Amino acid sequence: CDMINSIYLTDEYTTEFRKTLSGSFSKPFPHFYLPDFLTSKEFITDLRSELGTVQYDRKENDLYSLNQTADLSNFDANKFPALTKFRDLFKADVLNWLRNVSGVDLNNEVAITSSNYAYTDLLLPHDDQCEGRKFAFTLYLTSDWKETDGGQLLLYDYNDNPISVAQITNPTENMLVMFEVSQRSWHMVTEYLHINFRLFRLIKSCINIVQPMLFLFQVLRVSPVRNSAALVFREPGVYPFVKYVNCKAEDKYYYVISCSFYGFTVDDSSVTNSEENVESDDEVKNDDEAGSSFSKFESDGKN
Protein backbone atom coordinates (compact mmCIF):
# COMPACT_ATOMS: atom_id res chain seq x y z
CA CYS A 1 0.00 0.00 0.00
CA ASP A 2 1.40 3.40 -0.96
CA MET A 3 -0.02 5.00 2.20
CA ILE A 4 2.21 2.92 4.51
CA ASN A 5 5.86 3.92 4.85
CA SER A 6 7.88 1.48 2.73
CA ILE A 7 10.38 0.73 5.52
CA TYR A 8 7.62 -1.21 7.30
CA LEU A 9 6.86 -3.34 4.23
CA THR A 10 10.20 -5.12 3.93
CA ASP A 11 11.00 -8.72 4.80
CA GLU A 12 13.65 -7.45 7.22
CA TYR A 13 11.06 -5.49 9.16
CA THR A 14 8.75 -8.53 9.30
CA THR A 15 11.58 -10.58 10.81
CA GLU A 16 12.31 -7.94 13.45
CA PHE A 17 8.61 -7.50 14.21
CA ARG A 18 8.14 -11.20 14.94
CA LYS A 19 11.25 -11.30 17.12
CA THR A 20 9.87 -8.41 19.13
CA LEU A 21 6.44 -10.01 19.34
CA SER A 22 8.02 -13.16 20.76
CA GLY A 23 9.40 -11.07 23.63
CA SER A 24 13.02 -11.23 22.54
CA PHE A 25 13.74 -7.50 22.57
CA SER A 26 10.78 -5.52 23.83
CA LYS A 27 10.43 -4.73 27.51
CA PRO A 28 8.29 -4.58 29.61
CA PHE A 29 6.01 -6.28 27.05
CA PRO A 30 5.97 -6.49 23.23
CA HIS A 31 5.40 -3.01 21.82
CA PHE A 32 6.29 -1.12 18.65
CA TYR A 33 7.07 2.49 17.75
CA LEU A 34 6.55 3.29 14.06
CA PRO A 35 7.45 6.94 13.32
CA ASP A 36 6.28 8.46 10.03
CA PHE A 37 3.91 5.54 9.58
CA LEU A 38 1.80 7.18 6.87
CA THR A 39 3.46 8.63 3.80
CA SER A 40 1.28 11.70 3.28
CA LYS A 41 1.75 14.69 5.60
CA GLU A 42 -1.16 16.37 3.86
CA PHE A 43 -3.39 13.46 4.85
CA ILE A 44 -2.31 13.84 8.50
CA THR A 45 -3.23 17.53 8.32
CA ASP A 46 -6.63 16.68 6.82
CA LEU A 47 -7.29 14.15 9.60
CA ARG A 48 -6.45 16.67 12.29
CA SER A 49 -8.62 19.29 10.61
CA GLU A 50 -11.67 17.01 10.40
CA LEU A 51 -11.23 15.87 13.99
CA GLY A 52 -11.60 19.50 14.99
CA THR A 53 -15.17 19.43 13.65
CA VAL A 54 -16.50 16.07 14.88
CA GLN A 55 -18.64 15.50 17.95
CA TYR A 56 -16.78 14.30 21.03
CA ASP A 57 -18.53 12.88 24.06
CA ARG A 58 -17.10 13.59 27.48
CA LYS A 59 -15.91 10.46 29.32
CA GLU A 60 -15.10 10.68 33.01
CA ASN A 61 -14.76 8.16 35.81
CA ASP A 62 -12.16 6.99 38.32
CA LEU A 63 -9.98 5.61 35.50
CA TYR A 64 -9.95 8.40 32.93
CA SER A 65 -11.08 11.86 31.86
CA LEU A 66 -11.08 12.56 28.13
CA ASN A 67 -13.25 13.28 25.10
CA GLN A 68 -14.04 10.51 22.63
CA THR A 69 -15.89 10.12 19.34
CA ALA A 70 -18.19 7.33 18.28
CA ASP A 71 -16.64 4.49 16.31
CA LEU A 72 -15.54 5.66 12.86
CA SER A 73 -17.58 2.86 11.29
CA ASN A 74 -20.62 5.16 11.60
CA PHE A 75 -19.04 8.19 9.92
CA ASP A 76 -20.39 9.55 6.62
CA ALA A 77 -17.83 9.68 3.79
CA ASN A 78 -19.45 12.78 2.31
CA LYS A 79 -19.09 14.69 5.57
CA PHE A 80 -15.75 13.26 6.74
CA PRO A 81 -13.80 12.12 3.66
CA ALA A 82 -10.38 12.00 5.37
CA LEU A 83 -11.57 10.11 8.46
CA THR A 84 -13.51 7.54 6.44
CA LYS A 85 -10.50 7.09 4.14
CA PHE A 86 -8.40 6.48 7.25
CA ARG A 87 -10.99 4.01 8.54
CA ASP A 88 -11.05 2.07 5.29
CA LEU A 89 -7.25 2.12 5.11
CA PHE A 90 -6.88 0.53 8.54
CA LYS A 91 -9.68 -1.98 8.01
CA ALA A 92 -8.10 -3.22 4.79
CA ASP A 93 -4.47 -2.43 3.94
CA VAL A 94 -3.15 -1.89 7.47
CA LEU A 95 -5.03 -4.93 8.78
CA ASN A 96 -3.54 -7.12 6.05
CA TRP A 97 -0.10 -5.64 6.76
CA LEU A 98 -0.47 -6.47 10.45
CA ARG A 99 -1.53 -10.03 9.67
CA ASN A 100 1.57 -10.42 7.53
CA VAL A 101 4.17 -8.93 9.88
CA SER A 102 2.74 -10.58 13.02
CA GLY A 103 1.75 -13.96 11.58
CA VAL A 104 -1.45 -13.74 13.65
CA ASP A 105 -4.74 -14.83 12.06
CA LEU A 106 -6.77 -11.71 12.87
CA ASN A 107 -10.40 -11.43 11.91
CA ASN A 108 -11.84 -8.41 10.11
CA GLU A 109 -13.02 -6.57 13.22
CA VAL A 110 -11.18 -3.29 13.80
CA ALA A 111 -12.57 -0.75 16.26
CA ILE A 112 -11.49 2.86 15.66
CA THR A 113 -12.28 5.95 17.71
CA SER A 114 -10.61 9.30 18.28
CA SER A 115 -9.77 10.66 21.71
CA ASN A 116 -8.66 14.16 22.54
CA TYR A 117 -7.19 15.25 25.82
CA ALA A 118 -7.87 18.74 27.10
CA TYR A 119 -6.23 20.49 30.05
CA THR A 120 -5.78 18.10 33.07
CA ASP A 121 -7.20 15.07 31.19
CA LEU A 122 -5.46 11.73 31.73
CA LEU A 123 -5.85 7.96 31.50
CA LEU A 124 -4.74 5.98 34.56
CA PRO A 125 -2.93 2.60 34.44
CA HIS A 126 -4.90 -0.18 32.74
CA ASP A 127 -4.09 -3.17 30.54
CA ASP A 128 -6.63 -2.85 27.65
CA GLN A 129 -7.75 -6.45 28.10
CA CYS A 130 -11.07 -7.19 26.44
CA GLU A 131 -12.29 -10.59 25.32
CA GLY A 132 -10.70 -11.50 21.99
CA ARG A 133 -8.57 -8.35 21.64
CA LYS A 134 -5.08 -9.04 20.30
CA PHE A 135 -3.50 -5.67 19.44
CA ALA A 136 -4.09 -2.10 20.54
CA PHE A 137 -2.57 0.81 18.69
CA THR A 138 -2.61 4.61 18.58
CA LEU A 139 -1.76 7.06 15.81
CA TYR A 140 -0.73 10.46 17.17
CA LEU A 141 -1.86 13.53 15.23
CA THR A 142 -0.87 16.43 17.47
CA SER A 143 1.82 18.66 15.99
CA ASP A 144 4.39 20.81 17.81
CA TRP A 145 4.14 18.79 21.01
CA LYS A 146 6.49 19.77 23.86
CA GLU A 147 7.48 17.75 26.92
CA THR A 148 5.87 20.33 29.20
CA ASP A 149 2.52 19.62 27.50
CA GLY A 150 2.18 16.21 29.19
CA GLY A 151 0.15 13.39 27.65
CA GLN A 152 3.05 10.92 27.45
CA LEU A 153 2.38 7.21 27.12
CA LEU A 154 3.90 5.23 30.02
CA LEU A 155 4.51 1.48 29.87
CA TYR A 156 4.76 -0.35 33.18
CA ASP A 157 6.72 -3.28 34.53
CA TYR A 158 4.30 -5.90 35.78
CA ASN A 159 4.18 -8.15 38.83
CA ASP A 160 0.48 -9.02 39.12
CA ASN A 161 0.00 -5.22 39.17
CA PRO A 162 1.93 -2.32 37.60
CA ILE A 163 4.96 -1.61 39.77
CA SER A 164 7.17 0.94 37.98
CA VAL A 165 7.47 2.89 34.72
CA ALA A 166 9.63 1.03 32.20
CA GLN A 167 9.15 3.15 29.06
CA ILE A 168 8.07 6.73 28.38
CA THR A 169 6.81 7.61 24.91
CA ASN A 170 6.37 11.19 23.76
CA PRO A 171 3.45 11.93 21.41
CA THR A 172 4.92 12.50 17.96
CA GLU A 173 2.87 13.49 14.94
CA ASN A 174 2.29 10.56 12.54
CA MET A 175 3.76 7.98 14.91
CA LEU A 176 1.94 4.67 15.30
CA VAL A 177 2.36 3.01 18.70
CA MET A 178 1.21 -0.58 18.95
CA PHE A 179 1.37 -3.38 21.50
CA GLU A 180 0.11 -6.87 22.09
CA VAL A 181 -2.71 -6.93 24.65
CA SER A 182 -2.12 -9.23 27.62
CA GLN A 183 -2.25 -9.25 31.40
CA ARG A 184 1.18 -7.59 31.28
CA SER A 185 0.28 -4.68 28.97
CA TRP A 186 -0.18 -2.05 31.68
CA HIS A 187 0.09 1.53 30.45
CA MET A 188 -1.28 5.00 31.05
CA VAL A 189 -1.49 8.48 29.50
CA THR A 190 -0.13 11.19 31.79
CA GLU A 191 -2.01 14.37 32.62
CA TYR A 192 -2.24 16.77 29.69
CA LEU A 193 -1.04 20.21 30.79
CA HIS A 194 -1.42 22.45 27.73
CA ILE A 195 -4.26 24.91 28.27
CA ASN A 196 -4.87 26.06 24.69
CA PHE A 197 -4.36 22.92 22.58
CA ARG A 198 -5.58 19.33 22.62
CA LEU A 199 -3.78 16.04 22.23
CA PHE A 200 -5.37 14.02 19.41
CA ARG A 201 -5.07 10.23 19.39
CA LEU A 202 -6.73 7.84 16.96
CA ILE A 203 -7.30 4.66 18.95
CA LYS A 204 -7.69 1.27 17.30
CA SER A 205 -7.85 -2.38 18.25
CA CYS A 206 -7.77 -5.61 16.26
CA ILE A 207 -9.72 -8.65 17.39
CA ASN A 208 -8.34 -12.17 17.14
CA ILE A 209 -11.05 -14.86 17.22
CA VAL A 210 -8.60 -17.74 16.82
CA GLN A 211 -7.38 -17.36 20.41
CA PRO A 212 -10.26 -15.85 22.37
CA MET A 213 -9.47 -14.63 25.86
CA LEU A 214 -11.64 -14.07 28.91
CA PHE A 215 -10.15 -12.14 31.81
CA LEU A 216 -11.47 -11.72 35.31
CA PHE A 217 -10.20 -9.19 37.80
CA GLN A 218 -11.35 -7.59 41.01
CA VAL A 219 -13.28 -4.36 40.45
CA LEU A 220 -14.16 -3.54 44.04
CA ARG A 221 -13.91 -5.26 47.42
CA VAL A 222 -16.84 -4.67 49.78
CA SER A 223 -16.62 -5.95 53.34
CA PRO A 224 -19.92 -7.61 54.32
CA VAL A 225 -21.70 -5.89 57.20
CA ARG A 226 -24.68 -7.68 58.69
CA ASN A 227 -28.06 -6.23 57.73
CA SER A 228 -26.64 -3.80 55.17
CA ALA A 229 -26.68 -3.50 51.40
CA ALA A 230 -23.88 -2.57 49.02
CA LEU A 231 -24.83 -0.98 45.69
CA VAL A 232 -22.16 -0.86 42.98
CA PHE A 233 -22.61 1.18 39.80
CA ARG A 234 -20.33 0.02 37.01
CA GLU A 235 -19.81 2.48 34.17
CA PRO A 236 -19.64 0.95 30.68
CA GLY A 237 -15.97 1.78 30.12
CA VAL A 238 -14.51 0.04 33.16
CA TYR A 239 -16.38 -3.26 33.53
CA PRO A 240 -15.14 -5.78 30.94
CA PHE A 241 -18.42 -7.46 29.98
CA VAL A 242 -20.37 -4.20 29.81
CA LYS A 243 -17.50 -2.67 27.86
CA TYR A 244 -17.63 -5.59 25.42
CA VAL A 245 -21.43 -5.30 25.05
CA ASN A 246 -21.14 -1.58 24.37
CA CYS A 247 -18.51 -2.23 21.70
CA LYS A 248 -21.24 -4.16 19.89
CA ALA A 249 -24.12 -1.85 20.80
CA GLU A 250 -22.58 1.17 19.05
CA ASP A 251 -24.48 4.27 20.29
CA LYS A 252 -26.80 2.37 22.68
CA TYR A 253 -25.00 2.23 26.02
CA TYR A 254 -25.79 -0.23 28.78
CA TYR A 255 -25.08 0.21 32.47
CA VAL A 256 -24.99 -2.20 35.38
CA ILE A 257 -25.98 -1.67 39.00
CA SER A 258 -25.47 -4.65 41.28
CA CYS A 259 -26.84 -5.00 44.79
CA SER A 260 -25.56 -7.34 47.49
CA PHE A 261 -27.64 -7.70 50.66
CA TYR A 262 -25.98 -9.05 53.76
CA GLY A 263 -28.64 -10.73 55.92
CA PHE A 264 -28.73 -11.75 59.55
CA THR A 265 -26.52 -14.59 60.72
CA VAL A 266 -26.27 -15.85 64.27
CA ASP A 267 -22.83 -16.96 65.40
CA ASP A 268 -22.78 -20.07 67.59
CA SER A 269 -20.71 -18.28 70.21
CA SER A 270 -23.33 -15.55 70.49
CA VAL A 271 -26.16 -17.95 71.28
CA THR A 272 -26.27 -18.09 75.08
CA ASN A 273 -29.91 -18.73 75.82
CA SER A 274 -33.29 -18.98 74.19
CA GLU A 275 -34.34 -15.54 75.41
CA GLU A 276 -31.65 -13.87 73.29
CA ASN A 277 -32.82 -15.86 70.28
CA VAL A 278 -36.39 -14.73 70.83
CA GLU A 279 -35.19 -11.13 71.21
CA SER A 280 -33.34 -11.34 67.87
CA ASP A 281 -36.42 -12.78 66.17
CA ASP A 282 -38.55 -9.96 67.55
CA GLU A 283 -36.10 -7.38 66.18
CA VAL A 284 -36.29 -8.92 62.72
CA LYS A 285 -40.08 -9.01 62.94
CA ASN A 286 -40.23 -5.34 63.93
CA ASP A 287 -37.97 -4.41 61.04
CA ASP A 288 -40.18 -6.33 58.62
CA GLU A 289 -43.32 -4.67 59.95
CA ALA A 290 -41.70 -1.27 59.45
CA GLY A 291 -41.16 -2.19 55.81
CA SER A 292 -37.41 -1.54 55.87
CA SER A 293 -35.34 -3.60 53.43
CA PHE A 294 -32.14 -2.81 55.29
CA SER A 295 -31.16 -0.86 58.37
CA LYS A 296 -28.01 0.80 57.07
CA PHE A 297 -26.72 1.76 53.64
CA GLU A 298 -22.99 1.39 53.14
CA SER A 299 -21.41 3.70 50.56
CA ASP A 300 -17.82 4.69 49.96
CA GLY A 301 -18.63 7.34 47.38
CA LYS A 302 -17.17 5.38 44.46
CA ASN A 303 -18.99 4.54 41.24
CA separation for the pair 298, 283 (Å, rounded): 20
Multiple choice CATH, 6-207, 2.60.120.620, 3.20.20.105, 3.30.420.40, 3.30.43.10:
2.60.120.620
Contact at 8 Å (CB) between 167 and 152? no
Give the pLDDT of residue 158: 82
- Each domain of the chain, given as residue ranges in start order, spans 6-207, 228-298
Look at residue 41 in the predicted model and tell me its pLDDT: 93
Please give the distance of CA 225 from its chain centroid, rounded to a whole number: 33
Predicted pLDDT at 249? 59
Dihedral angle over CA of 245, 249, 252, 257, nearest 10:
-10
Q: Residue 160, Cα to own-chain centre: how many angstroms?
A: 18
Q: How far is CA 161 from CA 87, 135, 206, 226, 287, in A?
A: 34, 20, 24, 32, 44
61 backbone dihedrals φ, ψ, rounded to 5°: -160, -165
Q: Which amino acid is at 96?
A: N
- pLDDT tens, residue by residue, 209-266: 444 433 344 455 656 666 666 666 555 444 445 555 555 555 665 555 666 665 555 5
List of the chain residues with pLDDT < 70: 131, 195-303
In terms of pTM, does the model score above 0.85?
no
In contact, 95 and 156? CB cutoff 8 Å: no
